[in-house]
Amino acid sequence: MEKITFHLNKELTHKVEKRLSLWQEQNISSRLWNCDPAIWKENPAEQKELADRLGWLNKPYKMLDKIYELQQFAEEIKNDFTNVLLLGMGGSSLAPEVFAKTFGAKQGYLKLEIIDSTHPLNLKRITDTYDLSKTLFIVASKSGGTIETMSFYYFFSNEVSKFNKNPGNQFVALTDPNTWLENFATEKKFRKIFSTPNDVGGRYSALTYFGMMPAALMGIDVERFLLNAKEMADECQSYVEASKNPGFYLGAVLGELHESGKDKVTFFASPKFSSFPQWIEQLVAESTGKDGKGILPICDEEISPVDNYKNDRVFVFIILANDENTKLDKFAIDLIAAQKPVLIFQLDETYELAKEFYRWEIATALSSVVLKIHPFDQPDVQFAKTLAGESLKAYKVGGKLPQMLAAITEGAISLISENEQYTASGSISFALNKFLSQADEHDYAAIMAFTEYGDEVAKSLQSLRNKISEKYSLATTIGFGPRFLHSTGQLHKGGKNNGLFIQITNEIENDITVPGQGYSFGVLITAQAQGDFNALKNKNRRVISLHITGNFVEAINSISL
């Protein structure tokens, strides 16, 4: 049985109680389950999309009817394959990644890995590691046209066709009804097409086929998982008083903390649950980061002395009993003693994580009521895609991408910025310090790496993050592109203008062509970096770009502040 404790001061507790009383008077609980869009917006133009995006409320109940189908499919697949690669971005990939890292594959079932990086080195690692003849591919895209996902498909389909005359037999589609992907999958004779609910947005799709089908392939007990989610859904039903509704309560807390200037939700998790905050990150950032507002999720930041944290923080602990929690427990005690807002979610076993998926979905939707925003759209995600598309179009026409000229080059590092305040000295260190020194009390620094993944790369970026945090006492985030474009990218451009954005790219070696599409993966990830850089500039965000040649890890580690 999960144990939830919230440590808030009297003023915040009063605001939360007042908000819950208001929601009770306004009958928000019943209106939510009746899909009333006026909970969020009075504008009829916005209400249609709001009303059409609430199908996730019933998914713990409806997906229980799909258990037999999922189990049968998993049994069929495990006889033919040993691995499954999920080709998807954002909401299509993050929940399966949590399942893979939290539960792993049951003996005799498929090992799952996510492909959500367009960097050629990541694709090369996959082809060097996996026996593709024993690999099932899930092509996951709600819209049915995600450029990264389809580029992955074209590459792997071409690889599979080298040894399989019927490559479609190794592919499964997850997409909404009547999308281009659904028709394409039929034409290419995919092994199976799962038609996913079109009244559920991607970041709310964990408890649909998008999450449950990959979970079943790994041998996870999806019935047990969904029953846990159903238990939380029962506690959040329309007849439950707002003050006793766990999803409403968390939503009111997050909303009122935001209104009180505590808008940076900093996550710490037991080792077993280490990937879950990244799923919450997308849900919260993409849902709330718009109209100049937003709740900033902060994941994987190293623990600092309590006095180093500013008063804009709220701390969330997601704890698994009997995991290695000694350091986290001590830190939580220190934060509570310092009267910082602390929310602790303690779970007895891993399957209770299903309750937290549902709780955070409800809470995010309800916190958006407090913020007075539309929680189910993502307008600035499309803006960055459009600008990336323009760079890609220029490449297809002229054979090269638009040039981003370096203002400073020192050894393996070039800095791109049009602001002479940063570049006048000709020093990378001076430019970075000048850039970061403009931070005020409530700013944060975001490292956005359009680079390959890998432990050594992650360590070097974390080291740079620590240098920034220690010198400037700034909240910090790290995102890998293009993955983060489908999560925190919306908040970067649509939320508060309080971010300092450091984009990092690296020289593309051993590029890989996307078969039949007129571009390579190196061109695609570079175009995406350019699109995001230009979108941030267009939104008057403070952004610089570092380009690395040669050894990436050595170059990043050499940066001094």
If asked whether residues 24 and 114 sit together in one domain, one would say no
If asked whether residues 153 and 298 sit together in one domain, one would say no
Instruction: Establish if 257 belongs to a structural domain.
Output: yes
Instruction: Establish if 233 belongs to a structural domain.
Output: no
For residue 53, the SS3 value is coil
Q: Return the CATH number at 222.
A: 3.40.50.10490
Two tokens at 303? 């623990």
If asked whether residues 416 and 475 sit together in one domain, one would say yes
If asked whether residues 205 and 295 sit together in one domain, one would say no
Which structural domain range is residue 517 located in?
379-557
Could you tell me if 360 and 278 are in contact, meaning their C-beta atoms sit under 8 angstroms apart? no
If asked whether residues 405 and 533 sit together in one domain, one would say yes
Which of 175, 199, 226 is where one domain is finished? 226
Instruction: Establish if 44 belongs to a structural domain.
Output: no
If asked whether residues 270 and 140 sit together in one domain, one would say no
CB atoms within 10 A of CB 301: 19
The full length of the chain comes to 561
pLDDT of residue 426: 83
Instruction: Establish if 51 belongs to a structural domain.
Output: no
If asked whether residues 248 and 364 sit together in one domain, one would say yes
If asked whether residues 523 and 401 sit together in one domain, one would say yes
If asked whether residues 145 and 76 sit together in one domain, one would say yes
Which of 342, 371, 400 is where one domain is finished? 371
Instruction: Establish if 45 belongs to a structural domain.
Output: no
**Total of domains in the chain:** 3
Helix axis angle, 209-217 to 94-102, nearest 10°: 30
Could you tell me if 540 and 494 are in contact, meaning their C-beta atoms sit under 8 angstroms apart? no
If asked whether residues 102 and 207 sit together in one domain, one would say yes
Instruction: Establish if 47 belongs to a structural domain.
Output: no
Which of 195, 226, 257 is where one domain is finished? 226
pLDDT of residue 484: 94
Helix axis angle, 67-78 to 209-217, nearest 10°: 40
If asked whether residues 211 and 70 sit together in one domain, one would say yes
If asked whether residues 362 and 384 sit together in one domain, one would say no
pLDDT of residue 516: 96
Rounded-to-integer distance, Cα 87 and Cα 433, Å? 39
Instruction: Establish if 517 belongs to a structural domain.
Output: yes
Rounded-to-integer distance, Cα 561 and Cα 552, Å? 18
Rounded-to-integer distance, Cα 435 and Cα 429, Å? 10
Grouped pLDDT means (10 residues each) for the chain, 561 residues? 93 98 97 96 87 95 97 97 97 97 97 96 94 98 95 98 97 97 97 95 97 98 98 97 97 98 98 98 97 97 95 98 95 98 98 98 98 94 88 92 91 91 87 95 96 94 96 96 93 97 95 96 96 96 96 96 91
Instruction: Establish if 289 belongs to a structural domain.
Output: yes
Rounded-to-integer distance, Cα 135 and Cα 82, Å? 6
Could you tell me if 212 and 79 are in contact, meaning their C-beta atoms sit under 8 angstroms apart? no
For residue 365, the SS3 value is helix
